[in-house]
Amino acid sequence: MSENRAVSPGKKSLFQDFKAGEFFQKYTMIIALVVVTIVFSLWPGKNGLILQPANVTGLIAENAYVFVLATGMLMCILTGGNIDLSVGSVVCFTAAIGCVMMASGVNMWLTVLAMLAIGLAIGAFQGFWIAKIQVPAFIATLAGMYAFRGFSNVVLNGYRVDITNQQFLDLFGNGKTSFVPDYIRQAMPGLDSVFTKDNAFLSALIGQNFVAKFNVTCMCIGIVAALVFVLIKVRKILVQKKLGISQSIPGQIISTVIIAALILWVTFKLSCYRGFPNVLIWTILVLGIYAYITTKTAIGRHLYAVGGNEKATALSGVKTRNVYWFAYANIGLLAGLAGILTAGRAKGIDPVYGEGYEMDAIASCFIGGASAYGGTGKVSGMIIGAILMGVINKGMIIVGVDANYQKVVKGIVLLIAVMFDVLSKRQKR
């Protein structure tokens, strides 16, 4: 730090106002994620297994529903620590209806629309009681949790229903064909002779086992995405500088570089396996839309305002009741989507599917820094929380931790994560 101070005051060094403590505090969960990943990848006997392309792909496919549900849950939590206990049952119910519809030969797109519409209707129904009659969210959604689990059983008659519609499985599932095809290599057959084991440079870069099947399209998506991300961030930093908003610029640069590298790394791993999973498209779409809604739109800001101080918000002219209705209708819609993804991955639906999903979603939000009292929390934080949980789950399975102890570890991690958060925020004051 002393070196930086020596720079002439006219030319401020970029790193002059870099504070290590502040950086660690702000990015606690990212650092935790990196540490946990390193620990699992260095595990004796399981060297690097968690970083294998198949496992990285699996991690995304298995946790798609968590991302989707946690996004909806975040909106509810923002309004004041309210939660939705019914999502697990609603996931099962919408999936059950969808599976039964497809089994009786209904068109796939019609089914998908119906599932989303049913999810939305359930959400709006529960939201009505919560927003208009002021039934505590806990009770209204607890009632939904009981009722829709029962309805799912009724719809399914207590038995599993399979999905045979290949188009549905391709779009929302996790099978061999549920990936974006490698359009670039299809268009340029000449590339096949480039991506061979004999090409010393490429096989060193990609790895001997993966080079022949390397998915160029997926890698290109990753490169473009990373570039776009960096451009957006650079523009944001420049605007901040211009306006003189004091934000830790070095911290932002470091985090931008890390995230861009992460995007490249993940898409590289995906390219080595089967390419870009279709479920990732839906997940990114949802995350992107809601990151936009929470940060850039009026209704998004209203969610924060209601959670911060409901009375003040109402007095400033916001129809707070409608904000609640929005949050709960919205999570219903997303539960419908999660139902689609769950059914697609499992190639069918069992009456017990979706149990405990609400806790996964809630835990992701809280680990990701959402306040249990509402008003604070970001989509980006929730993403990190969900990934952290996913990595821990996957890591424990790979390492071979007994299923019972997996739950214990999950509980302890949750507690430590939040304790760390609470303590570091307290020191700040």
Partner 1 sequence: MNNKAILAALKKNAMLIVLVLVYLFFLILTKGSIFSPSSFAELINQNAYVYILGAGMLMCMLTGGNIDLSCGAFVCLLGAFGGVFMIVQGLGTGVSIALMLLIGVVYGCVLGYLIAYVHIPPWIATLAGYLAFRGLGTSILSANSKTGSLAPFPVDFQNIFYGRVFPTEKGVFNWPCFLFGVAAAALVVLVIFTTRKNRLSKGYEADTVKAAAVKSGLGAAVILLVMSRLALDGGIPTTLLWVAGIVLIYSFITSKTTVGRHFYVVGGNMEAARLSGVNTRRIMFLAYLNMAILTAIATFTVIARSQSAYADVGKNFEMDAISACVVGGVSASGGAGTVLGMVVGATLIGVINLGMSLISLDANYQRVVKGFVLLAAVVFDILSKKRQK
Would you count residue 402 as binding partner 1 (CB under 8 A)?
yes
Q: Applying CB under 8 A, which part among 188-196, 208-216, 299-307, 360-368 lies near partner 1?
A: 360-368
Contact 109, 164 (CB under 8 A): no
Q: Which of 151, 214, 268, 326 binds partner 1 (CB under 8 A)?
A: 151
Would you count residue 282 as binding partner 1 (CB under 8 A)?
no
Residues 157-196 that bind partner 1 (CB under 8 A): 158
Residues 67-86 that bind partner 1 (CB under 8 A): 81
Mention every residue, 6+ apart, whose C-beta is less than 8 A from residue 26: 248, 251
Residues 116-135 that bind partner 1 (CB under 8 A): 129, 133-135
Mention every residue, 6+ apart, whose C-beta is less than 8 A from residue 413: 367, 388, 389, 392
C-alpha pair distances (Å), 93 with each of 96, 279, 339, 403:
5, 20, 8, 27
Of 96, 98, 90, 128, whose CA–CA distance to 115 is shortest? 98
Nearer to partner 1, 191 or 397 (CB): 397
Residue 184's identity, in one-letter code, is I
Nearer to partner 1, 151 or 268 (CB): 151
Contact 85, 377 (CB under 8 A): no
Least distance to partner 1, CB of residue 372, Å? 4
Residues in contact with partner 1, total (CB under 8 A)?
Answer: 46
Nearer to partner 1, 149 or 345 (CB): 149
Least distance to partner 1, CB of residue 141, Å? 10
Contact 198, 295 (CB under 8 A): no
Q: If phi over 0 gives left and psi between -120 and 50 gives alpha, with beta otherwise, what is residue 356? A: left
Least distance to partner 1, CB of residue 144, Å? 6
Contact 279, 171 (CB under 8 A): no
Nearer to partner 1, 156 or 206 (CB): 156
C-alpha pair distances (Å), 61 with each of 132, 181, 268, 277:
37, 17, 16, 8
Would you count residue 394 as binding partner 1 (CB under 8 A)?
no
Contact 369, 29 (CB under 8 A): yes
Q: Which of 153, 199, 309, 424 binds partner 1 (CB under 8 A)?
A: 153
Would you count residue 314 as binding partner 1 (CB under 8 A)?
no
Q: 């952290």: which residue's tokens?
A: 388
Q: Applying CB under 8 A, which part among 67-75, 189-197, 313-321, 403-411 lies near partner 1?
A: 403-411
For residues 391 and 396, give the distance between their C-alpha atoms in angstroms, rounded to a whole number: 8
Alpha helices in 354-402 (DSSP H): 357-367, 379-399
Would you count residue 400 as binding partner 1 (CB under 8 A)?
no
Q: Applying CB under 8 A, which part among 66-74, 277-285, 313-321, 399-407 lies near partner 1?
A: 399-407
Would you count residue 403 as binding partner 1 (CB under 8 A)?
yes
Would you count residue 372 as binding partner 1 (CB under 8 A)?
yes
Would you count residue 410 as binding partner 1 (CB under 8 A)?
yes
C-alpha pair distances (Å), 343 with each of 50, 100, 159, 177, 364:
25, 11, 14, 16, 22
Helix (H, G, I), strand (E, B) or coil at 161: strand
Would you count residue 212 as binding partner 1 (CB under 8 A)?
no
Nearer to partner 1, 25 or 248 (CB): 25
Q: Which of 21, 136, 207, 288 binds partner 1 (CB under 8 A)?
A: 136
Would you count residue 312 as binding partner 1 (CB under 8 A)?
no
- Per CB under 8 A, residues contacting partner 1 are 81, 129, 133-136, 138-140, 142-151, 153-154, 158, 359, 362-363, 366, 371-373, 402-408, 410-412, 414-415, 418-419, 422-423, 426
